[in-house]
Structure 1
């Protein structure tokens, strides 16, 4: 059965519009990753200076984040062995030495799963079903922040000094200044609404993409955190007519951790040279190269989209020309 020409044209048009709409929505998402983020930007020297000012005011600032530092260690190479490698233990010890008034909690693989099963059983199937182990490390840190609050730190980050000045903000993440927000160090009071928005969104974002890097980053990692950050800010009250920000308790802060040579110095945190990357897959280098050549990448992407649209329109034109073709009369012949 042959599909009518107008119907086939309509089907192709709808398909192209849907494809373009999807591509544009993804490009808008990448805009939220690679450009300026929402929230209140704070450098580490600014946080330290604010703490010194409040000390001069007889400590009138109210502490919002509890004195606890969380670390998560899931041993993928030797399951069941919960002993920290020496380099990770050394980085964790720097925080213990500089923060004697803090409690410390190390979340092992079994403890993490027991916590999810006990406190958030609705998420357990998704948690167990993650394709890559690092996704469980990503997810459990968000639930820890929601339930207990405190400061979460990856084990390749250490402490240079007392982290108490960071406890006076209701919620903050770290921002490397070039790309997505980071989930390697987080701070929050318990039960902040941002974490409710984020953890509930883990279910619809649990897609198994063809590329491991995209699956990890977009389903639970830094791209996911950044998308939730922008969505949450879009839901907050807008500034009034005078431009003053709304007065509410749910402000979010970005603590800058830019590694560029001319960036603001790191006052509170350190980073292990060559640390991290335990979850790297074959496609990590590809996306690192894309990040280093964004203009070239988007130029090729737009050229590819234009080529697809042009080929689609050309195909439709040829399809519409199908059918009967008039044959020219041969010399000496006649048409009856």
Structure 2
């Protein structure tokens, strides 16, 4: 075979290889875009999702949950500083989050907005919590650092921490006029159907005054829990739930006490079911004989909400909505579409 023939075949091989890579890349992009919209559709249709569940709703069934907000003061001195805290690895924000970030600014025009990047987070811990720096650097997953950071920031400054996939639906001002510390819980059906456990606190939105004893207890326990294998137990919702129970057992305080903790109903911050759980929950609920009484009740609750005649509107009393983006499970690749936080929030503050 002559030199020209070999060069020609080599060129064809390289072209085919490049085309194969391009096709693979395009297929991958199409798959994830399709998955994204499927999940969005499922989120919007999550109520109707359980309508065909083969489980009977008892005549006198009383659904779990609330349909009206409690009474809040309309004026007074805020018990929590008017600061929104969010975290991201740097100042370049994925486009999916822009509209949700702006929702917090629109609903809270007189609040400060602070972004904590990996760099500024480490600076804060090095400056003021140096005894935790080795632990912070040693975390094997970014989600653990993000979790730990929110507790440290709230203890140091106070305010309200919110995940990037949280959308503000109304102002949190009523809450900060009544409570000095509040946290939400996952939808009732999540922990019950998963583990037969009635309450699981979630740390995607937490509001507390500076130096609150509950947040101090979270910070103080980070080191001892850092050895836990799973991030849920080390820094996440399981950790928060466990420390909350410990705090409550030691401090029998009403929720509106200056050192109390208010656990908000899931309808306030987490009114919708995680779309990633829909198929799993439907499958579990379809096998009624394998469920506990508590789990059967949760499944009936899901079906009750799906019946149009029951007029259940998950967003009717919500202060915020969690979009269950699961950022910590995604590989957020660099993109030209990413936007500087300074182009999204003109008044953003970053720790230096």
C-alpha RMSD of the superposition: 2.5
Of 103, 108, 124, the residue aligned with 1:115 is: 124
Q: Is the 8 A contact 1:68 1:151 kept in 2?
A: yes
Q: Is the 8 A contact 1:67 1:102 kept in 2?
A: yes
Task: Give unpaired runs (5+ residues) of structure 2.
Answer: 1-64, 192-199, 274-304, 306-311, 332-352
What does residue 319 of structure 2 align with? Answer: 268
Larger RCO of the pair (alpha carbons < 8 Å, separation 6+):
2
CA displacement 1:81-109 (0-9 Å, x = unmatched): 52101111221011111211111011111
Q: What SS is found at the alignment partner of 2:91? A: coil
Q: What SS is found at the alignment partner of 2:152? A: helix
Aligned length: 214
Could you tell me the TM-score, scaled by structure 1's length?
Answer: 0.59
Judging changes above 3 Å, is the alpha-carbon distance between structure 1 residues 151 and 108 closer, same or farther for their aligned structure 2 residues?
same
Of 240, 245, 251, the residue aligned with 1:236 is: 251
User: Do structure 1's residue 84 and structure 2's residue 93 form an aligned pair?
Assistant: yes
Q: Is the 8 A contact 2:108 2:171 kept in 1?
A: yes
Q: What SS is found at the alignment partner of 2:110? A: coil
Q: Is the 8 A contact 1:45 1:264 kept in 2?
A: no
Judging changes above 3 Å, is the alpha-carbon distance between structure 1 residues 218 and 253 closer, same or farther for their aligned structure 2 residues?
same
Judging changes above 3 Å, is the alpha-carbon distance between structure 1 residues 247 and 278 closer, same or farther for their aligned structure 2 residues?
closer
What does residue 69 of structure 2 align with? Answer: 46
Judging changes above 3 Å, is the alpha-carbon distance between structure 1 residues 194 and 128 closer, same or farther for their aligned structure 2 residues?
same
Of 98, 104, 110, the residue aligned with 1:95 is: 104
User: Do structure 1's residue 207 and structure 2's residue 227 form an aligned pair?
Assistant: yes
Task: Give unpaired runs (5+ residues) of structure 1.
Answer: 1-41, 75-80, 210-214, 239-244, 282-336
Measure how far apart 1:264 and its partner are: 7.4
User: Do structure 1's residue 192 and structure 2's residue 212 form an aligned pair?
Assistant: yes
User: Do structure 1's residue 126 and structure 2's residue 135 form an aligned pair?
Assistant: yes
Judging changes above 3 Å, is the alpha-carbon distance between structure 1 residues 252 and 89 closer, same or farther for their aligned structure 2 residues?
same
Q: What SS is found at the alignment partner of 1:101? A: coil
What does residue 63 of structure 1 align with? Answer: 78
Judging changes above 3 Å, is the alpha-carbon distance between structure 1 residues 228 and 43 closer, same or farther for their aligned structure 2 residues?
farther
CA displacement 1:288-307 (0-9 Å, x = unmatched): xxxxxxxxxxxxxxxxxxxx
CA displacement 1:226-260 (0-9 Å, x = unmatched): 0000000000148xxxxxx6995321111222426
Measure how far apart 1:176 and its partner are: 1.8
Could you tell me the TM-score, scaled by structure 2's length?
Answer: 0.56
Q: Which moved more, 1:256-265 or 1:228-237?
A: 256-265
